[in-house]
Structure 1
Amino acid sequence: MSEITNAPHNLSAIDFLRTRSLANVVQAEIERMIIDGELKPNERVNENGLSQRLGVSRGPIREACSALAAMGLIEIIPNRGFFIRALTNDEAQDLSEARAGVFGCMAMMLAERVTDAQIAILRALLQRMDEIVELGDVHIYYPVNLEFHKQITHMAGNNRLELIYQSFVRELHIQRYRALSSHDVLHISNEEHRAIVDALEARDPVRSLIAARTHILNGIVRTRQAGQPGPVDQLEKQSRKSADEKSSEV
């Protein structure tokens, strides 16, 4: 209600809500264009072009871009406009390592409290991704992959960690999406998902932590192989070390 109360005086409450709703739709579409690579890192957002393409005025475009800037997907350069954010090597590495640590921690927490019903949900998502792997279509696989990770972080039951994790996910969307660019990579990705669920079903916190963290670190290596920026030689070593630790635990 506070947003409606603070609506501009020249807009009625219904007009304000309609504008906000439109901006949300525009935001979702621009985010999709960024993730799909239609808008490239460092590319300036063409407000007029998007306005014509989406059939809206420039107001919702600007509001959507401002929201995406707050999420870390767009950068605002004074007197120049909106630009698709390109992570530096250090930023990509820091974010990915932080995401790996948080995801591993949340998997460990979940292993201590996971229910059979929750395992069934994760198994169903695994099955769905197995089916998509046969198609080799990253456009279909990626949203289910996101849902799998989202379910684990939600099931862990810590709202603060979940918010932190999702902020990392948004900033790393582009790199993660393009890292899943081939049929072989999709297969490997889901095998790593299966290792996580197996560890959770065993109610083994340490094994779950290692499987989840290793999955993210391996994704960083796949990002490099897909041609994305990021100094991951050290991360590759960490990934191998985590895999060795996992083997010794089994």
Structure 2
Amino acid sequence: MPAAATVNSPRHAMSDTLNQPTSFSAIDFLRTKSLANVVQAEIERMIIDGEFQPNERVNENALSQRLGVSRGPIREACSALAAMGLIEIIPNRGFFIRALSSDESQDLSEARAGIFGCMAMMLAERVTVAQIAILRALLARMDEIVALGEVHTYYPVNLEFHKQIASMAGNNRLGSIYQSFVRELHIQRYRALSSPDVLHISNAEHREIVDAVEARDPVRALIAGRAHILNGIVRAKKAQQAGEATAQAKAAPRRTRRTAAAMEETAAGTPADAATKPRARRGGLSKTD
């Protein structure tokens, strides 16, 4: 009986609570991650999710209030993201979300395509049954999301699929280079999947990669992996063009209204005309005086 009393004592209950794995996970996280690291991860997530737009200025005060931290960790995090190529520092103006030029985006995407194809090829030469199972599970999950048409849900699973390919390929140097490209191209990659209509195409290309890897066919895997990234470049360009066309269409009615107003003012006598007439009269009066 004493043993039972000990088990049910408040002190023992508190001990059990402290010994829960979730508590230790949180503690370990805080031990290994500085505040700036946490803020950096959150800002990177916001960039990926489209909460920040290219060329947009990072409002340090607003972020400070939103995240409940001082501006120091935010500046440190932004400096780290600048080193990664996601943010641009403009002297005397602040931090801005970096916007890649068309040429920069094309160069990075083509380089990423070559490396991803290479990693898919290497994986086909050494893949295990367990690794195939992981990739198939991710394909199945993306199929479920495709049926729902939820781009914001599909994107992180898509990222995980590519991350698994890179990790399973087993070359840390290639993986590191690949991840550096991934960070810089986040906005373009998200834009490529911005329409629910293309999600099934994206996952069909994923399936072709896994089929080639499972068949242990390195050449087929190389071609499938590289083609998937190159096709994504085309999808991103089409999405950008569609976005620009939509923006122009929205601006057109405003321009039409301004033009109509200008024509009405011209027909009735514009304020500018009314302003010049008194000046002319005053000029005439001064001459007669």
* CA deviation map 1:105-137 (0-9, x unaligned): 111111111111111110011001001111111
> Alignment identity in percent?
86
**After the TM superposition, which segments of 4 or more aligned residues of structure 1 sit over 4 Å from their partners?**
17-20
2:113 to 100, 121, 128: 100
Preserved contact between residue 111 and residue 201 of structure 1 (Cα < 8 Å):
yes
Measure the CA separation in 2 of the matches of 1:212 and 1:228.
25
Equivalences for 1:75-86 in 2 at 5 Å? 75-86=88-99
Q: TM-score, normalised by structure 2?
A: 0.71
Unaligned runs of 5+ in 1: 1-16, 230-250
Measure the CA separation in 2 of the matches of 1:193 and 1:34.
24
Q: Which letter maps to 1:34?
A: I
Alignment partner, residue 203 of structure 2 = 190
Alignment partner, residue 153 of structure 2 = 140
Preserved contact between residue 175 and residue 228 of structure 1 (Cα < 8 Å):
no
Measure the CA separation in 1 of the matches of 2:89 and 2:31.
25
Measure the CA separation in 2 of the matches of 1:149 and 1:36.
17
Structure 1 stretch displaced more, 59-68 or 220-229: 220-229
Q: In 2 relative to 1, CA 199–18 (structure 1 residues): closer, same or farther, beyond 3 Å?
A: closer
Q: In 2 relative to 1, CA 67–133 (structure 1 residues): closer, same or farther, beyond 3 Å?
A: same
How many residue pairs align between the two structures? Answer: 213
Alignment partner, residue 66 of structure 1 = 79
Q: SS of 1:39's equivalent? A: coil
Q: TM-score, normalised by structure 1?
A: 0.82
Q: Tell whether 2:36 aligns with 1:23.
A: yes
Q: SS of 2:34's equivalent? A: helix
Preserved contact between residue 107 and residue 208 of structure 1 (Cα < 8 Å):
yes
1:156 to 157, 164, 169: 169
Larger Rg belongs to: 2
Q: Tell whether 2:170 aligns with 1:170.
A: no
Preserved contact between residue 19 and residue 60 of structure 1 (Cα < 8 Å):
no
Unaligned runs of 5+ in 2: 1-29, 243-289
| CA RMSD after TM alignment | 1.7
Higher relative helix content: 2
